[in-house]
Chain A
Amino acid sequence: MARVDTDTSIGGSQSRFPDTRHSAIRNLGSLDSRLRECALDALIAAYWKPVYKYVRVRWSQSNENAKDLTQSFFARALEKEFFGGYDPAKARFRTYLRACLDAFLSNENKAAGRIKRGGDAMIVSLDFETAQGELRQRGTASAGQSPEEYFQREWVRNLLGLATEDLKHECEERGKQIQYRIFERYDLDDSAARPTYDGLAAEFTVTTATVTNHLAAMRRRFRHLLLARIRETAVTEQEFRDEARTVLGIEA
């Protein structure tokens, strides 16, 4: 079963669950430091794992190098305002970020081998141990998968994970632990044999109808939180819809 832990505090305070998240990318250049900070949190939450895994797998970097390069990339991106040059009319933000990352890594490679990045400021605390564990478990690229496809796959995985985490914390705050546990048992279970509704009803001493109602409500909320996470990483409405179709696996 996929256990969902709170292993990092990135992405902002987990006690905030706004009903509507706005585009974080747009706020990166805001004059309001609070808005800028929130935007940074959201950006890093959505992208640091895909970036780290991409550096490890696609650029064949060691764990230590990949950790340093991931930190450096975000630090440099903010310092040099890489993302200020993003034009939503030309590409999705995700594609733009990956192009920036490739250019950054290419420059790093050219600069007399690996440069020890000890001098760079650590912008956030990222849980690289977990990310490395995930790579060992399932992070390798499939045969024939392009760098873009690999990055996208990991980005989708990360966003779904974030939405799951959001749902868990929201349920804890609102006293809906049983509802979440039913969702976790039925929808996040990785084992071949998914529990039956009747089995869950017996396990949680509720009726089968209650199980299906709880599941429907949790899925509805999960969908809402997932779309909110996607909205946060898109600039325009069209980009949001395109990215949502990618994440949800709907053909455009």
Chain B
Amino acid sequence: MESLPDAVIGHLREVVNRPDFVGTRYEVIAEIGRGGMGTVYAALDGKLGRRVALKVLNILDSGGQAAARMAEEARILARLEHPGIVPVHDFGELPDGRVYYAMKLVDGARLDCYAQAGPPVGERLRVFLRICETVAFAHSQGVIHRDLKPQNIMVGPFGEVLVLDWGVAKITGMAREFLPANAAGRDDTAPGTAVGTPGYTAPEQASGTSDQVDARSDVYSLGRTLAALLEGGEIPRRLRAISQKAASPERTLRYTTVAELAADVERFQSGERVLAYRETPAERLGRLVTRNQMVVLLVATYLVMRVLLFFLPWR
């Protein structure tokens, strides 16, 4: 046996890892992302002549729990029909045993990259509210994301927002009927097993007490995401208070639902009093003046005119 040169080793590693799409309708164009569970490729769907994204399970995870989890992720996505959730086109298994699903190929920037480009605060908040809408919709369908973070959110070229990576989502209530019978344990991770990303994961989720994970765990992640989205500029106190209330370590102190969080952000945007912040009388006056600038300006103009008219000796 002659030893293999480094260049051949590199090539062999690549071909061993590369999914085998021979005999399917897809032709892989390039790798576009890599995660713990799978790799995402841009591919051409030869039958329909369109570009798609293929999420393929890593070779070492084929079969068993990881494959079942990916199948469930595809099912969850297929069920969640919403403009903020990427649509799934197809699900299948490759000759090498890896499962995959095909979905819409999304153009755009990850939320962290989008924020780094420095868009105005108003624009950032508009994007954040789109994220909240999507997550609130998922909650209404009985799906808790459990891994919300800027890296799992895409902002498209026309400002559209997509929430990605539902691989560790928790299924509750009515959504469970869409799971296969053998996926009964899917809604809960094993006791003591934590999913999510440090820094964005709610304490009750990080500790692995999955029975306490509910919509408020996603509210926590959204609070952290809001803080990350606003980084790099001066954050108004009331807005900071909103992100802090959402990401409160004690879950009973957070907003109960994503809709409540979104409503507080909207109140901030329209200059109303927000639930998360107790303002001083001076701050309240300042906010009211800012909010009613035109009225204040007109009243001030009127008063000045009255004073002038009173003192001017035109009579």
Interface residues of A (CB under 8 A from B): 2-8, 49, 130, 134, 137-139, 156-158, 160-162, 164-165, 187-190, 212-213, 216, 219-220, 222-223, 226, 241, 244-245, 247-251
Tell me the smallest distance from the CB of A161 to a CB of chain B, in Å. Answer: 5
Q: Which residues in A have their C-beta under 8 angstroms from that of B4?
A: 2, 157, 160-161, 164, 188
B-to-A contact residues, CB < 8 Å: 1-13, 15-18, 20, 22, 34, 58-60, 95-96
Bound-complex Cα distance A176 to B10 (A):
25
Collect the chain A residues with CB atoms within 8 Å of residue B7's CB: 190
A188 to B7, CA, bound (A): 9
Instruction: From known contacts A216-B22, A220-B95, A250-B60, infer whether A157 and B2 are also in contact, taking CB-CB under 8 Å.
Output: no
Verify B59–A7 contact, CB threshold 8 A.
no
Closest Cβ neighbor of B7 among chain A residues? A190
Number of A-B residue pairs having CB atoms within 8 Å of each other in the complex: 86
Chain A residue nearest to B17 (CB atoms) is A248
Q: Which residue of B lies closest to A222 (CB)?
A: B16
- Give Cα A241–Cα B58 distance, bound, in whole angstroms: 11
Q: Once bound together, how far apart are the Cα atoms of A191 and B76, in whole Å?
A: 47
Instruction: Pick 6 A–B contacts, CB within 8 A, sort by A.
Output: A7-B1, A134-B3, A157-B4, A160-B12, A223-B16, A247-B13
Note all chain B residues with C-beta closer than 8 A to A226: 16
Point out which of A188, A189, A213 has the most chain B C-beta atoms below 10 A from its C-beta: A188
Q: Is the CB of B8 within 8 A of A251?
A: no
What is the bound-complex CA distance between A74 and B96, given in angstroms?
Answer: 37
**Contact of B5 (CB < 8 Å), options: A190, A213, A220, A222:** A190
Q: Which residues of chain A are near B9, meaning CB under 8 Å?
A: 156-157, 160
B17 near A250: Cβ-Cβ < 8 Å: yes
- Please name the residue on chain B nearest to A11 by beta carbon: B1
Contacts of A250 in B (CB 8 A): 17, 58-60
Contact status of A220 and B13, CB under 8 A, knowing A5-B2, A161-B1, A190-B5 = no
- In the bound complex, what is the Cα–Cα distance between A126 and B16 (angstroms)? 29
Other-chain residue from B8, B13, B34 in contact with A190 (beta carbon distance below 8 A) = B8
Contact A4 B12, beta carbon cutoff 8 Å: no
